[in-house]
């Protein structure tokens, strides 16, 4: 991330609710110089509540329902932390996040929604599902339908419960029992006219409405009421009211019935650095029901006030409307509108609601990347097809340039340097023992320093593992963007926590390094490794060997697309999960069987395979149909998305290829890519079982043949 002004303020958004989503879009259009924005959310997407009944009824896909926080965060120049916030240390100004170091803040805003969990009902946590948060419910509903559906019981007879019951009835058809249970009177949140129409809709859909009765126990197949009755239910949904998340009670913030109290500026009355909005907040001056309309209306005020707080200027009050429109879906493409005591119903109301919802989602999906200034002087030909520089291995210099420069610099060879440029690591002779030495530096490809550091550390160890060595000592090399001393400490703490965790797990020690500031975040590691036995190189493949790959390809294309706002957040997070997983055990499983091995990184699968073939004097045959690909990468390759180094990688390989997306991905640079190894066929089954036992997934993607006119063939 280029920084023209030093970073001096850290603003943390806890939760990816509707207000925060709109804030991210507004921030991307007009960022505050010197402020760094962070979003903490359990997943890469946040469901839009307004379209949930339509999704349940089958009118929308899950993808249409989800707000893509990865794209919004990239657009806003924010980092996205995928994790659960679990607490806050307001004295130290730290947000506690499950499974990682705490996150520093100068100002923080809560938009974490609510839950409709029912821990007081026996069996609900084991067999039921809450309607909120929406993500887990949406997943459970899909699984229910995919499993053949079944009877349904909804606990809660408010608008939300009735709307869900009608939607589920529409999706499942008329044969399965559906019931709505309320411990008091149902539908008290709308006018009498609307309540009457909704009761008629329930009866017409053959949905049983049980009022003034509570649930005593939930099992996998039934709901038992306190009056002794039981109802069939293979899916029991909790939709009774709203509950704040319990951990808010430990924050020391002023609460109202467990919700974060805020003044008219959406700020906590007992902590001027904390803001809250959406369903998790209580407007002390103007209390309102828990409704998404207020979260949407609050977005411009929250955006303005967070900017004002960071800049030290006056804040503006939020003035929620007194009356608001309620539109209730009725299962089919029919809906009811309630306002000012009146009720209107018909397909046209659903069409109206659909347009409102689609317009909201369009605002969050129509993201045009902000264009930076062009260079004052440039070579037209050289930059005519220039794209934003990728991060990770996509930002590396092409192999052709490196080979020519290194060849020109060849000098005297020391007797204790047994191998050097061209393989994964240098091989040194130290007191009769062998040691490997490698270094790797990456430009930030993901805006979270902790995740970036973890993946970079694993990536750097790949060269050591590929040679069958054990990581030993590590030097770190960090370049931070210009930032205040407090932020330097915060970012370095996250980077070193991730690196230390990774290297200690592998038995390696961080012994020093160098830190400086520059235009953007870059990180590198120099690593030594030791080996008790033979060291693997890229020149040991023999004809007849099977060619094995241990990880899907496509990460460079996905990361390039993410920078261009062209990929799905779910696909990016799947790739990050793969890259964040250690391959140390996989390498140790492969080493006893491999005749040659390398890790697939910047030069792509084809480039590294060709180098192995040339060094071993064999021809490697790649079978395209067997090459594994990360989710989403094929569609992006088909659409022409390429990483920065892709043209250089393609130019290095002269092999004729079919015009297919998989073939295009052979030149895709991989960050923390898999191992490419040749295995004698007599030991292949044993090797594959060893890799699987280590937790890896091996793919046989080709074979080695006697050398022919080309070192690489693709079939």
Indicate the pLDDT class of residue 335, thresholds 50, 70 and 90.
very high
pLDDT per residue as tens digits for the range 280-313: 999 999 888 777 788 889 999 999 999 999 999 9
Tell me: do 520 and 549 sit in the same domain. Answer: no
Helix (H) and strand (E) counts in the chain = 22, 37
Does residue 209 contact residue 186 with C-beta atoms inside 8 Å?
Answer: yes
The pLDDT assigned to 693 comes to: 97
More confident residue, 419 or 270: 270
* pLDDT, tens digit (0-9, with 9 covering 90-100), for 177-226: 999 999 999 998 889 999 999 999 999 999 999 999 999 999 999 999 99
Domain that holds residue 712: 386-394+537-715
**Token pair recorded at residue 686:** 């044993």
Same-domain pairing of 618 and 701: yes
According to DSSP, the β-strands at 712-714 and 619-622 are parallel
User: How many C-beta atoms surround the C-beta of residue 37 within 10 A?
Assistant: 23
Domain boundary among 324, 341, 364: 324
| Mean pLDDT of the 108-119 span | 88
| Gap between the Cα atoms of 704 and 702, Å rounded | 7
Cα separation of 255 and 260, whole Å? 5
Q: Examine the domain organization and report whether 152 and 98 are in the same domain.
A: no
> Would the pTM of this model clear 0.85, i.e. be above it?
yes
Shared domain for 318 and 448, answered yes or no, is: no
* CB contact set of 269 (below 8 Å; sequence gap of 6+): 254, 261, 262, 263, 284
Distant-in-sequence, close-in-space partners of 402: CB < 8 Å, separation ≥ 6: none
- pLDDT, tens digit (0-9, with 9 covering 90-100), for 366-419: 887 655 444 444 444 444 445 566 665 555 555 555 555 555 555 546 777 776
- Based on the domain organization, do 51 and 138 belong to the same domain? no
102 and 128 share one domain: no
What CATH number does the domain containing 21 carry?
3.50.50.60
Q: Which residue has the tokens 């309540």?
A: 195
Q: In the listed set 502, 534, 566, which residue is the last one of a domain according to the structure? A: 534
Give the position of tokens 């499942």: 172
633 plus 705 within the same structural domain: yes
Convert 511-528 to b/e letters by CB count within 10 Å (16 or more is b): eeeeeeeeeebbbbbbbb
Number of domains comprising the chain: 4
Lowest-pLDDT choice from 142-146, 162-166, 394-398, 457-461:
394-398
Q: Which H or E run includes 587? A: helix 584-590
- The DSSP secondary-structure symbol of 702 reads E
Residues 544 and 620 in one domain: yes
Q: Does one domain contain both 503 and 607?
A: no
Is residue 70 domain-shared with residue 84, that is, in the same domain? yes
Say which range, 230-244, 505-519, 591-605, has the weakest mean pLDDT.
230-244
CATH at residue 459: 3.30.1330.10
Lowest mean pLDDT among 238-242, 338-342, 387-391, 606-610: 387-391
Question: In the prediction, which pLDDT does 5 show?
Answer: 66
Domain boundary among 534, 559, 584: 534
Are 536 and 596 contacting, i.e. CB atoms less than 8 angstroms apart?
Answer: yes
């Amino acid at each position: 991330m280029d920084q023209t002004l030093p970073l001096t303020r850290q603003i943390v958004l806890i939760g990816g609710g509707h207000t925060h989503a709109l804030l991210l879009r507004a921030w991307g259009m007009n960022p505050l110089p010197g402020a760094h924005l962070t979003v903490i959310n359990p997943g890469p997407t946040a469901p839009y509540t307004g379209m949930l009944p339509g999704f349940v009824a089958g009118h929308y896909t899950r993808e249409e329902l989800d707000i893509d926080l990865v794209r919004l965060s990239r657009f806003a120049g924010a980092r996205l932390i995928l994790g659960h916030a679990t607490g806050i240390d307001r004295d130290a100004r730290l947000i506690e996040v499950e499974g990682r170091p705490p996150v520093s803040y100068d100002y923080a805003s809560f938009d974490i929604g609510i839950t409709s969990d029912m821990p007081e009902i026996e069996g609900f946590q084991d067999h039921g599902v809450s309607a909120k948060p929406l993500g887990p419910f949406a997943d459970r509903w899909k699984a229910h339908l995919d499993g053949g559906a079944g009877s349904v019981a909804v606990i809660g007879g408010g608008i939300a419960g009735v709307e869900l019951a009608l939607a589920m009835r529409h999706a499942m058809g008329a044969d399965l029992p559906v019931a709505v249970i309320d411990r008091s009177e149902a539908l008290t949140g709308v006018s009498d006219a609307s309540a009457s129409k909704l009761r008629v809709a329930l009866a017409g859909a053959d949905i049983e409405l049980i009022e003034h009765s509570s649930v005593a126990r939930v099992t996998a197949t039934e709901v038992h009421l306190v009056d002794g009755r039981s109802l069939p239910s293979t899916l029991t949904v909790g939709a009774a009211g709203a509950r704040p998340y319990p951990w808010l009670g430990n924050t020391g913030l002023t609460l109202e019935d467990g919700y974060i109290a805020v003044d008219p500026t959406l700020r906590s009355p007992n902590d001027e650095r904390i803001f809250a909005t959406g369903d998790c907040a209580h407007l002390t001056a103007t209390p309102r029901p828990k409704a998404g309309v207020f979260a949407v209306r609050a977005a411009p005020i929250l955006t303005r006030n967070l900017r004002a707080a960071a800049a030290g200027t006056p804040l503006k009050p939020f003035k929620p409307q007194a009356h608001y429109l309620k539109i209730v879906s009725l299962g089919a493409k029919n809906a009811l509108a309630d306002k000012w005591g009146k009720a209107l119903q018909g397909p046209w109301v659903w069409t109206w609601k659909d347009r409102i919802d689609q317009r909201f989602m369009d605002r969050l999906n129509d993201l045009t990347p902000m264009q930076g200034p062009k260079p004052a002087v440039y070579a037209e030909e050289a930059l005519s097809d220039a794209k934003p520089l990728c991060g990770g291995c996509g930002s590396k210099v092409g192999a052709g340039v490196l080979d020519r420069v290194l060849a020109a610099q060849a000098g005297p060879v020391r007797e204790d340097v047994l191998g050097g440029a061209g393989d994964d690591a240098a091989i040194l002779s130290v007191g009769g023992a062998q040691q490997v030495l490698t270094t790797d530096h990456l430009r930030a490809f993901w805006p979270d320093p902790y995740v970036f550091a973890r993946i970079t550390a694993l990536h750097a160890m790949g060269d050591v593992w590929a040679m069958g060595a054990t990581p030993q000592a590590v030097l770190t090399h960090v370049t931070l963007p210009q930032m205040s001393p407090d932020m330097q400490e915060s970012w370095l703490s996250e980077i070193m926590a991730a690196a230390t965790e990774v290297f200690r797990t592998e038995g390696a020690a961080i012994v020093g390094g160098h830190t400086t500031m520059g235009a953007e975040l870059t990180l590198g590691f120099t690593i030594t490794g030791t080996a008790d036995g033979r060291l693997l190189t890229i020149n040991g493949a023999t004809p007849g060997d099977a060619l094995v790959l241990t990880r899907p390809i496509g990460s460079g294309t996905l990361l390039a697309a993410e920078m261009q706002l062209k990929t799905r957040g779910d696909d990016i997070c799947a790739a990050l999960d793969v890259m964040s997983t250690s391959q140390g055990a996989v390498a140790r499983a492969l080493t006893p069987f491999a005749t040659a091995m390398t890790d697939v990184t910047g030069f792509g699968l084809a480039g590294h395979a060709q180098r192995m073939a040339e060094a071993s004097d064999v021809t490697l045959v790649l079978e395209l149909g067997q090459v594994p690909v990360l989710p989403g990468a094929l569609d992006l390759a088909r659409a022409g998305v390429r990483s920065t180094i892709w043209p250089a990688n393609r130019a290095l390989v002269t092999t004729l290829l079919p015009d297919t997306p998989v073939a295009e991905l052979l030149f895709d640079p991989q960050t923390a890519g898999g191992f490419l190894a040749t295995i004698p066929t007599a030991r292949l089954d044993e090797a594959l079982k060893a890799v699987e036992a280590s937790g890896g997934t091996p793919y046989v993607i080709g074979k080695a043949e006697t050398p022919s006119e080309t070192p690489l063939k693709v079939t």
